Amino acid sequence: MPRLDPQQTLANRLAERLGLEKASLNGKADDFAPAKVAERILGFIGGRLESQKAAGADTTELQKMYDQAAKGVEQGFKEARKILDGMGVLAGNIAADIDKTYELIQTGMKDMAERLLPQASEANQSSLSANASRFEAQSQTFDLSVTTREGDRLRISVAQASASASSSQVEAGGTQAQGQSIQVGGWQVEVEGDLNDQERKALEQLLGEVQGLSDQFYSGDYAGAFDRALELNLDGRQLASMSLNLTQTSVRQVNETYGRVAGQEAPSSAVNSDLREYADGLLEALRTANELTSSPSDLLRDLLKGGMAMDDRFDQGRLDKAMSLNDLLLEGLKGQVEKSAEQTVASE
């Protein structure tokens, strides 16, 4: 994956959310210092407001434009932080620079409001802050870089679709696509790069399977099978084999192993149908990912992490457990998918 400058990532997101071309705020490396990024963002917003004020726009119109810009800034920062966190770089100086840029823009926005919106009341400002917070909470997203089996590089940006879009999507039967934009269930997906019909179909199917796995994990495990499976301290291959083969023999063997590890007899609920169904779903999703890329485990892991992190039903504890289970199962299932693919090639 090519190295991305964190401040450039932020600038691109802010540009998009303010209605500009993604690269319109780009510049030399020095131009991505917090003060420089803030200066360009504030210059654009302030210039547009001043232009409209000079053209005769009243306070109500200017307030509406200001509110839209503030919401765009909130969403841009939210998305940029999500991307950088997904890349594992949102820490130290990078996190400090992002926070500094946000602070400078917020200060500049406040000064701008006092200068250009003198009639704006404290109530209006409070309403703006509340609206921005709600908007921020609804603008979660994550980005992935994928190399397809055809050798094409894709950037996949996944965001939560609006409630109305999600509803119409379900009524339409699952997916909608126009250009390089795909809607799958509650997700709106933007794809940058070449995606042929077969790859697009695989991607749509994979995204649907990932959403199904999130639902399955959240609603399942009534008897604690996921917790007990993790407590067994099995490696990925052993856990995957156990999960997919819940025969009476495997249940007995798992109970015996649990007893040795935990020092007590495991109840019959140490494994159950929830775990098997989840492992089956994960295996199917992994096979679908294998149609799209030569690194199916990495792609599926990233999609699951991003998707579950966007899901409001998952608190940090549930998310940590889900990712621990996913990592172990994917480690064990990877070999099965690779072996199956090799057998398919050999038979052709």
Residue 261 predicted with pLDDT over 80: no
Q: Which two tokens stand for residue 235?
A: 């490696």
pLDDT at 250: 46
Average confidence (pLDDT) over 83-109:
84
* Confidence grade of residue 24 (pLDDT, cut at 50, 70, 90): low
List residues bridging with 177 in a β-sheet: 182
* Confidence grade of residue 142 (pLDDT, cut at 50, 70, 90): confident
* Confidence grade of residue 26 (pLDDT, cut at 50, 70, 90): low
Mean pLDDT of the chain: 75
Residue 128 predicted with pLDDT over 50: no
Q: What would the pLDDT profile of 230-247 be if each residue is shown by its tens digit?
A: 887 788 888 888 788 754
At 16, give phi and psi (nearest 5°): -60, -40
Residue 269 predicted with pLDDT over 60: no
Residue 337 predicted with pLDDT over 70: yes
337: closest CA among 277, 296, 276, 293?
Answer: 296
* Confidence grade of residue 297 (pLDDT, cut at 50, 70, 90): very high
pLDDT at 7: 75
Residue 60 predicted with pLDDT over 80: yes
Residue 345 predicted with pLDDT over 80: no
* Confidence grade of residue 19 (pLDDT, cut at 50, 70, 90): confident
Q: Cα separation of 160 and 21, whole Å? A: 22
Residue with tokens 């495990």: 221
**Cα dihedral 270, 272, 275, 278 in deg (nearest 10):** -170
Residue 296 predicted with pLDDT over 80: yes
At 223, give phi and psi (nearest 5°): -95, 10
Strands of 141-147's sheet in order across: 141-147, 153-160, 187-192, 181-184, 175-178
* Better pLDDT: 119 or 191: 191
* Better pLDDT: 220 or 110: 110
pLDDT > 70 fraction of the chain, expressed in percent and rounded: 71
Average confidence (pLDDT) over 322-332:
91
Question: In 315-334, which positions are buried (b, 16+ CB within 10 angstroms) versus exposed (e)?
Answer: eeebbebbbebbebbbbbbb
pLDDT at 133: 41
Average confidence (pLDDT) over 67-95:
82
Q: Cα separation of 36 and 12, whole Å? A: 14
CB count in 10 Å sphere of residue 253: 13
List residues bridging with 155 in a β-sheet: 145, 192
pLDDT at 27: 58
Residue with tokens 């964190």: 6
Residue 290 predicted with pLDDT over 90: yes
Least confident of 150-154, 168-172, 269-273, 302-306: 168-172
| 3-state SS record for the chain | CCCCCHHHHHHHHHHHHCCCCHHHHCCCHHHHCHHHHHHHHHHHHHHHHHHHHHCCCCHHHHHHHHHHHHHHHHHHHHHHHHHHHHCCCCCHHHHHHHHHHHHHHHHHHHHHHHHHCCCCCHHHHHHHHHHHHHHHHCCCEEEEEEEECCCCEEEEEEEECCHHHHHHHHHHCCEEEECCEEEECCEEEEEECCCCHHHHHHHHHHHHHHHHHHHHHHHCCCCCHHHHHHHCCCCHHHHHHHHHCCCHHHHHHHHHHHHHHHCCCCCHHHCCHHHHHHHHHHHHHHHHHHHHECCHHHHHHHHHHHHHHHCCCCCHHHHHHHHHHHHHHHHHHHHHHHHHHHHHHHHC
Q: What would the pLDDT profile of 146-186 be if each residue is shown by its tens digit?
A: 889 888 888 888 887 643 333 333 333 444 433 467 888 77
Average confidence (pLDDT) over 316-322:
84
Environment class of 37 (CB within 10 Å of its CB; exposed 0-12, middle 13-18, buried 19+): buried
pLDDT at 205: 94
Residue 343 predicted with pLDDT over 70: no
pLDDT at 287: 92
* Confidence grade of residue 304 (pLDDT, cut at 50, 70, 90): very high
Q: What would the pLDDT profile of 185-227 be if each residue is shown by its tens digit?
A: 778 888 888 888 899 899 999 999 999 999 888 887 766 778 8
